[in-house]
Amino acid sequence: MEDEEELDRGAELLTLMLTLSERAGNIARRIRKDDHLIELLTQKKEGDEANPRFVQDFKTLADVLIQETVRHFIGTQFPELAPHIKGEESAKFSNALGETVTVEVKSTKEETAEMLCKVLDGDQAAAEMLAEEVHRVVEIDRVNIGYVPIPPDLELPIEDLGIWIDPIDSTAEYIAGDPAGAPIPDPQAMAASGLHCVTILIGAYDRNTGTPVMGIVNQPFYSRNFDDQYVGRCCWGVCWGEVRIFSNPICDCDSQSKLIAISGSENPEIKTSLEEAGYTVCQAAGAGYKLYCVILGIAQAYILTRDSTFKWDTCGPQAILRAHGGDILIFSTLGEHNRSVRYTKNDVDEGVPDLMAQYCNRGGIVAYRSANTLCDIINALCEEVEDE
């Protein structure tokens, strides 16, 4: 009976993750509305927290606060998961006075506001506003997740799960924002940059096998409503045992042009080989957004040959892709072993003190939704993979 009750809590966890992703979106949108707040709260990452791909890497209070919000409420509702929730960001934040504060969501709105007031250099009004968003309950019917209902009897091994959180993927785009009067991006095309590329990623994986089993991608700046306010959308997927369920995509992968997402720093030889195979390569900001475009069928694949994505980037999207019949593979194994990205302890070096190196997806990645696309990519890139 106890095992059955544990398994039936899968729907409860999925619902919680979806509503928390929207709560996170509300926090991100609220902070983004205030340019002064963005400037005040942006802090350059230093040392082993910095992504070596970028000259500068940033963290904002939005990143840290979202991560700790998700961590707190999942840990409260599922205490057995609390020790196994990881995120990209350090919870430490330094205010303008040089004081270091550990961002921690408290049990009450008032206590959280008191903590935030220290980060905000005594700005009580801003602290109370953010605490209000952190503790504001979001009902599932307020989350734009499409028309596929969450199955009430979803079975998942709750006690065996771990959670990865990327609170704001594409932080640089989040900080920069959209220029005034910027047009709304086409939802069925890939945007190169801007707030449209910002995503919130939450993934659950089986700690025994390292296999991702449930994922959430929330796009908090998907569009703007009649009041010119940003609104979001969210997709989800579950792949566990015989269960393959996911929210409805906006377009059909097989009907799209042969578009492959890449980063701006991709190897020119890779781009040339893909183009010679008939693909169109398209650059866009944010690993999470490019993975989201593969999930939606806007792109047929996302290829990255560099070691510049991390477990928090891929866990959630990979679960959704696996539910679709796709996966995220390690690029350097392509055509030989086709190894999937995994999240077990064996896949990270616990002796490496550098956080970024410890959880890096070494060997690059290939994300795809269609097995036919994977075969075509292997044929197009087999020589380049052998040379890696």
Catalytic residues: 63, 88, 166, 168-169, 171, 313
Q: Characterize 172-195 residue by residue with b for buried, 16 or more Cβ atoms within 10 angstroms of its Cβ, and e for exposed.
A: ebbbebbeeeeeebeeeebbebbb
CA distances from 218 to 201, 248, 371 (A): 7, 14, 25
Ligand-binding annotation for 169, yes or no, is: yes
Angle at the Cα of 338 from the Cα atoms of 332 and 339, rounded to 5 degrees: 85
Ligand-binding annotation for 168, yes or no, is: yes
Look up residue 112 and give its two tokens: 């959280």
At 208, is the secondary structure helix, strand, or coil?
Answer: coil
User: How far, in Å, CA of 289 to CA of 278, rounded?
Assistant: 23
Burial class of residue 224 in the structure, from the number of CB atoms within 10 Å of its CB (0-12 exposed, 13-18 middle, 19+ buried): middle
- The letter for the amino acid at 106 is K
Strand stretches in 79-207, DSSP E: 85-87, 92-94, 100-102, 161-169, 199-206
Place of tokens 């007031």: 117
Which residues are documented as binding site?
88, 166, 168-169, 313
Annotated binding-site residues for Mg(2+) read: 88, 166, 168-169, 313
